[in-house]
Amino acid sequence: MRVKDKYINPFTDFGFKKLFGSEPNKDLLVDFLNELLQKKTGQIIDLTYLPPEQLGRHIDNRKAIFDIYCENEYGERFIVELQKAKQNYFKDRSIYYSTFPIQQQAEKGQWDFKLNAIYTVGILDFVFDEDKEDQDVFHHEVKLIDQSTKRVFYDKLTYIYLEMPKFTKTENELETHFDKWLYILRNLENLTNRPKKLQEKIFGKLFEQAEIANYTDQEYAEYEESLKVYRDLKNVIDTAFDEGKAEGLAEGKAVGLAEGIEKSKDAAIRLTALQLKQEGIPHETIAKVTGLTIKIINELS
């Protein structure tokens, strides 16, 4: 085994699921969610992992594959998604995904429509285009708001997005336990030792689980493949979006600005999908990133 880095990249599929999606490391996810949510109704004590692949109510409905899907002791559901690269319709996808745990709570026969809370968490390795100018806000918590009163209209549906590139605190600037979590997510791959400020017991376990030298040859091979997919995805996405926008905007000169903008989006998405396909990225991953169907991806050439 040839180890290049000391700790895994948590933004890879392998790294994220190793740290947060496995039963032995469930306490890491519980601690992170408690710090993230700061729930007034009480802390999460335990979580039960649910099947990540969810099907619609009919066999021909589109399915959803969550990174992590779990339920706490109160029946509240949590979708935790890691988004490695920008996606035009990521917000749309997160809203769509939240409909699955809503429908799953429907009971047969007489039912009063009472729902348990649902939390959708997006840990993003990119910044929303519309938020690029605002470097101060990276933690977005979204609920249904009454525009007239500016009060929360419904508190059982929450969307949380963390734009991780905006979190730039150094080790010396860390103040809260949540700061420390974000610092780890942002910097773990580049650390050579456990920082002095991260001496809590929970972080001791995280660093132990993240240390590549502790992995079997099989685990290391899986991580290396996951890391390759992550890097290829990032590189292709960045290039393809720029090229796609340029192509669409060039066409827009002839058809008008509004139509040109739409063409630029479509061109960027399809070019991104094509280049990912040529890199050998799994079609399911391409569909998740671009929002295109498997059928369209298969037809791209």
Lowest mean pLDDT across 36-40, 95-99, 205-209: 36-40
Q: Are 141 and 119 in contact (CB under 8 A)?
A: no
pLDDT of residue 274: 79
User: Rounded to 10 degrees, what is the CA torsion of 135, 137, 139, 142?
Assistant: -130
pLDDT of residue 257: 45
Report the pLDDT averaged over residues 209-218: 94
Q: Are 106 and 65 in contact (CB under 8 A)?
A: no
- pLDDT bracket for residue 272 (50, 70, 90): confident
What are residue 142's DSSP bridge partners? 159
pLDDT of residue 246: 53
Query: 59 is written with which tokens?
Result: 């066999």
Query: 270 is written with which tokens?
Result: 């399809």
What confidence tens digit (pLDDT) does each residue in 140-178 have?
999 999 999 999 999 999 999 999 999 999 999 999 999
Cα–Cα distance, 173 to 169 (Å, whole number): 6
The radius of gyration computed from the CA coordinates of the chain, to the nearest angstrom, equals: 21
Name which residue leads in pLDDT, 42 or 240: 42
- pLDDT bracket for residue 69 (50, 70, 90): very high
Q: Are 174 and 197 in contact (CB under 8 A)?
A: yes
Cα–Cα distance, 27 to 35 (Å, whole number): 12
pLDDT of residue 249: 47
Tell how far CA 284 is from the center of its chain: 15
pLDDT of residue 273: 78
pLDDT of residue 221: 93
Cα–Cα distance, 184 to 139 (Å, whole number): 16
pLDDT of residue 237: 67
Mean pLDDT of the chain: 84
- pLDDT bracket for residue 296 (50, 70, 90): confident
Report the pLDDT averaged over residues 273-300: 77
Lowest mean pLDDT across 8-17, 104-113, 154-163: 104-113
Closest by Cα among 197, 192, 191 to 173:
197
**Half-sphere CA count of 68, side-chain side, radius 13 A:** 33
pTM of the prediction?
A: 0.80
What confidence tens digit (pLDDT) does each residue in 77-97 have?
999 998 877 776 788 889 999
Counting residues of the chain whose pLDDT is more than 90, the rounded percentage is 52
- Does residue 189 surpass a pLDDT of 70? yes
- Does residue 250 surpass a pLDDT of 80? no
- Does residue 216 surpass a pLDDT of 90? yes
Residue type, 185: L
SS (H, E, C) the chain: CCCCCCECCCCCHHHHHHHHCCHHHHHHHHHHHHHHHCCCCCCCCCEEECCCEECCCCCCCCCEECCEEEEECCCCEEEEEEECCCCCCHHHHHHHHHHHHHHHCCCCCCCCCCCCCEEEEEEECCCCHHHCCCCCCCEEEEEEEECCCCEEEEEEEEEEEEEHHHCCCCHHHCCCHHHHHHHHHHHHHHCCCCCCCCCCHHHHHHHHHHEHHHCCHHHHHHHHHHHHHHHHHHHHHHHHHHHHHHHHHHHHHHHCHHHHHHHHHHHHHHHHHHHHHHCCCCHHHHHHHHCCCHHHHHHCC
Greatest distance between any 2 Cα atoms in the chain: 62
pLDDT of residue 261: 44
- pLDDT bracket for residue 297 (50, 70, 90): confident
β-pairing, 53-54 vs 118-124, is unpaired
Report the pLDDT averaged over residues 33-51: 88
Domain ranges within the chain, ordered by starting residue:
13-214
Residue type, 53: E
